[in-house]
Amino acid sequence: MSVARPARSALCTRRIAPANAAPSVAVAIATTTTTPLCRSFHSSAAVRAKKRPARFQNVKAEELGLMKPAKMAQFQKVYMPPYTEEQLERLRSKYTPAQVEAIQAGEAAIDTKDMLIQGRIRDDPYRPTYVEDYTTLDPRYDVLPEAAEGEGVQPREHKWLDEQDWMDQFSKRLSELADRKTDTQLTRAMARALRRVKDAHGADMIDLTEEELVELEKNPDMLQKYLVADNADAAESSGDGATNNKSSAQLTEAQVQKLNEAIEAEWKLELQKLVEESGADSGPSSIEMIEHGPAGLTRAETAEAPELGPVPGVAGRYNRGADPEDAGQDELGEYREIKRITGLRLAEIKALYCRILVLRTVSNQTRLGKIRSYSIVAIAGNGAGRLGLGVAKSTDNATAVVTAQMLAIRNMKAVRRYENRTVYGNATAKVGATVVELYNRPPGFGLRVPHRLFEMCRAVGIHDLAARMPRAKNPMNSVFATYQALMNQADPEEIARGRGKKLADVRKVYYGGSVH
């Protein structure tokens, strides 16, 4: 505020109402006084905010060179030409007259000048390289349809099969694949048998060369090249009998019988090998299953490597993931090590009561920054007097949880329970600044303890208990102190033996008659 003028003059020299607000005639007649004025409480002049410049300047039409009619017409002719008569004839042959009329109305409704001036042609590196109208086939993406001989390709609607029809079609394809694979194995076995017969009984008895037999074993489809049909034999015998007589005279009847016996013996050996070999599977491979499955060739061309299957020569030398006793519930062998350590079955492990009691996020400061990890405290119990505690830490939450649960199962120990429902007397334990006091209670009292102690009591099988924590209530320390108190209960029988006295439980004598 200026010091040259008093405050009252500064407050009364500017009007409260806006200057351009013209008062009505009635108000002007009724009021004869001047409208009170006001001004700001500072002497600085008001400065209007400057308009922030745009981050990206608009490209003007003059810069694009589209303001001249000649250039606009040339650009329109190149990029937005109208339909020609030939194109209209194609449209009339493909669409109905109403559809052609709708297309023409849509073309007429859009002004090409507005598209030239207001539109934007993309020049960024992510622009589409072409506009696809699906009128032509691109050999990079499209598959050519299989046309019948002498006929054009007839468009047809896709037939969606129901579940039963699709299963029938899929089963038929699998059976065809299995038959084809069986024929391939038998053809290769026959080629190996013929090679051994040719080496043992002379090359003159089999007219196939060694190279042809090797090629037949590699490519069983070449068998059709060396086979002669019966009707072709008949036609050849009727046309040229002398040649057949000459070829049949090359082998005597004894040689033919000997050759048949040798081939039959080798054939039996090959069949026996096919039966005994573990890798001789007549079923379709995983790639063939994918190719003829619901996804078709899209899954067959995936980047994932196909399954190796059983590796020959290492049978019995590797650990099997699945245990027959698990009934297929642990195919990956995740519980194999914990079963070996604890001696429990998979059903018993999955029936355990496991809970996560404490979940913390911790950080380790290194020269590369903070490394965040998860700290998990888990418990496991069978509900019948066994309780385990596990602590794990990992950068992955799921890994830390699984590790803590497995450690809890591994560390399960027996907990002493009075009448399988409460503790013996009062138990106290202290970890850090946390003190946990456990008190036994009569039947039907229930669990009146904090929520973490409640989960531990349910896991171990305690039903009547009272607890209090008079000092600090740190989550981890409270769990550790409770576990320590349950493990370090006073045993009355050991105290009696140490004092040399006989101890009898009044409740057991009164209710059960047990004095031992």
Output the domain CATH number for residue 465. 3.30.230.10
Q: What is the pLDDT of residue 12?
A: 46
> What's the confidence (pLDDT) of residue 26?
46
Tell me which DSSP letter residue 222 carries: G
> Can you give the pLDDT at residue 36?
55
Supply the pLDDT for residue 337. Answer: 87
Residue 114: the pLDDT is 81
Alpha carbons 49 and 223: distance in angstroms, whole number: 91
pLDDT score, position 433: 93
Q: Which two tokens stand for residue 499?
A: 């004092």
Residues of the chain with pLDDT under 70: 1-47, 49, 54-66, 120-121, 123, 127-159, 200-205, 207, 222-256, 258-259, 274-312, 314-322, 512-516
The reply to whether 489 and 360 lie within a common domain is no
What pLDDT does 56 receive? Answer: 65
| Structure tokens belonging to residue 5 | 């003028």
Do residue 290 and residue 178 come from a single domain?
A: yes
Who contacts 361 (Cβ-Cβ below 8 Å, separation ≥6)?
Answer: 372, 373, 374, 375
What was the pLDDT predicted at 201?
A: 64
Give the separation between CA 504 and CA 502, rounded to whole angstroms.
7
257: helix, coil or strand? helix
Tokens of 8: 């009252």
> Which pLDDT does position 490 carry in this prediction?
87
CA dihedral 39, 40, 43, 49 (to 10 degrees): -120
Q: Give pTM, 2 decimals.
A: 0.41
Report the Cα–Cα distance between both ends of the chain, in Å, rounded.
101
* 142 is a domain residue: no
Instruction: Assign residue 362 the CATH number of its domain.
Output: 3.30.160.20
Sign of the torsion formed by the C-alpha atoms of 437, 440, 445 and 451: positive
- Which residues lie below 8 Å from residue 195, measured CB to CB, with a gap of 6+? 210, 213, 214, 217
Amino acid present at 135: T
CB atoms within 10 A of CB 6: 10
The pLDDT value recorded for residue 268 is 74
Q: Is residue 154 part of a domain?
A: no
Per DSSP, helices labelled H in 393-499 are 397-410, 451-460, 475-487, 492-499
CB-based contact 215:222 (threshold 8 Å): yes
**Which of 56, 69, 58, 53 lies closest to 118, judged by CA?**
58
Q: DSSP 3-state assignment of 395?
A: coil
pLDDT at 276: 67
Look at residue 380 in the predicted model and tell me its pLDDT.
95
Domain-located, residue 408 = yes
271: nearest Cα among 336, 354, 185, 201 = 185
Sign of CA dihedral 301, 305, 309, 313: positive
Q: In the listed set 84, 102, 118, which residue is the last one of a domain according to the structure? A: 118
Angle, helices 451-460/475-487, rounded to nearest 10 degrees:
30
Tell whether 68 and 96 lie within a shared domain.
yes
Q: Considering the domain boundaries, does residue 475 fall inside one?
A: yes
Q: Is residue 246 part of a domain?
A: no
Residue 152: inside a domain, yes or no?
Answer: no
Q: What is the pLDDT of residue 31?
A: 47
User: 187 and 297 share a domain?
Assistant: yes
**CA angle centred on 412, ends 361 and 433, rounded to 5°:** 50
172 & 273 share domain:
yes
- Which SS3 state, helix, strand or coil, does residue 378 take? strand
Contact between 484 and 431 under an 8 Å Cβ cutoff? The reply is: yes
69: left (phi over 0), alpha (psi -120 to 50) or beta: alpha
Q: Are residues 186 and 271 in the same domain?
A: yes
Domain for residue 80, yes or no? yes
Q: Which of 302, 331, 357 is the last residue of a domain?
A: 302
pLDDT confidence of residue 176 = 82
Domain with 65 in it: 61-118
359 within some domain:
yes
Indicate whether 295 and 188 sit together in one domain.
yes
Same domain, 83 and 172: no
| 78 plus 28 within the same structural domain | no
Are residues 179 and 286 both part of a single domain? yes
- Sheet with 447-448, side-by-side order of all strands: 426-431, 434-440, 465-468, 447-448
Judge contact between 450 and 333, C-beta under 8 A. no
In this structure, what is the dihedral angle of CA atoms 196, 199, 203, 209, given to the nearest 10 degrees? 60
Q: In terms of domains, do 179 and 260 share one? A: yes
Asked if 422 and 506 sit in the same domain, the reply is yes
Burial class (CB in 10 A: 0-12, 13-18, 19+), 389: buried
Query: Which among 79, 101, 118 is the end of a domain?
Result: 118
Distances 487 to 113, 254, 414 between C-alpha atoms, Å:
89, 91, 8
To the nearest 10°, the Cα dihedral for 423, 429, 433, 434?
Answer: -10
CB 385 within 8 A of CB 420: yes
Count structural domains, the chain.
5
Torsion of CA 224, 225, 231, 236, to 10 degrees: -170
Residues forming beta bridges with residue 355, ordered by sequence position:
379
